[in-house]
Amino acid sequence: MPPRFSIDDILAKPSGASFFDGFIAQSHEKGGLISAGLPDRDGVLVVMDGKLRVYLIGEDREMTLFYLVPGDMFCTHSGCLIEAVEKTDIRYADIGTFAKKLEDNPSLAFGLIGILGRAMMGCMRTIEDLVFRDIKQRLARFFLDRARVAQGNAGTEVPLFIELTVEEIANLVGSSRQTTSAALNALMREGLISRKGRSNYTVADVGRLAAAAGTAFPPPDETTRPARQADGGR
């Protein structure tokens, strides 16, 4: 995969001071809809501050694909919905303006390729989980992914800081808040996960959690960055 891109890589260059010439500064309150997933707004946004959620919506449920945090960028004509999770400042440019920036800064292509690659991974992962795993397995896999990023080994205890509400986790695993809460309580009763406060979790045994998720540990030839995808690494 291409290296992870941040707009800071561009701003650090001598020409960085003028990079945002032609961009429109926008501020969105929590819950504000930046893009409705329609092709009528053809452009690119850059997150300056705050956090955005990229998601899809069906008849009776939402599915979060990943989050955008400062330094990330995304295209508004992707077909995904984008909303502000908290007060968020962005810079927005139409596709013509962005194309000129791309000529001057070819590394911008890495940003779009990387972020769209994460979107594709999220979609494929979602389809696989919904077809082959029940909610308890999907939730176990959610925590297992983060334990892997924290470099937990089978048989070890892994502390995790996850700044997501149960409802946000439910959107990520494709279920309702109530069902996700029940599955989380089941994992805690079985001693696989413990929680202190809202955001501090502990995986008691990564190997046992992998078994509950119905997957091997470590996964063969799998490279993931779910912490950034799901909670922005915050």
What CA–CA distance (Å, rounded) separates 8 from 73? 11
Sign of CA dihedral 126, 130, 133, 135: positive
Q: Which fold has domain 134-231?
A: Arc Repressor Mutant, subunit A (1.10.10)
| Backbone angles phi and psi of 205, in degrees to 5 | -155, 110
Collect the ranges in the chain with pLDDT lower than 50: 1-2, 220-230, 232-234
Report the pLDDT value the prediction gives residue 92, as an integer from 0 to 100: 93
Q: What is the pLDDT of residues 29-50, one digit of tens each?
A: 999 999 887 766 788 898 999 9
β 43-49/88-94 pair status: antiparallel
pTM of the predicted model as reported, rounded to 2 decimal places:
0.63
Report the pLDDT value the prediction gives residue 18, as an integer from 0 to 100: 80
Delimit the CATH 1.10.10.10 region(s) of the chain: 134-231
Q: Which fold has domain 8-130?
A: Jelly Rolls (2.60.120)
Residues 6+ apart with CB under 8 A from 184: 139, 166, 169, 193, 195
Delimit the CATH 2.60.120.10 region(s) of the chain: 8-130
Sign of CA dihedral 91, 76, 117, 51: positive
What CA–CA distance (Å, rounded) separates 220 from 206? 16
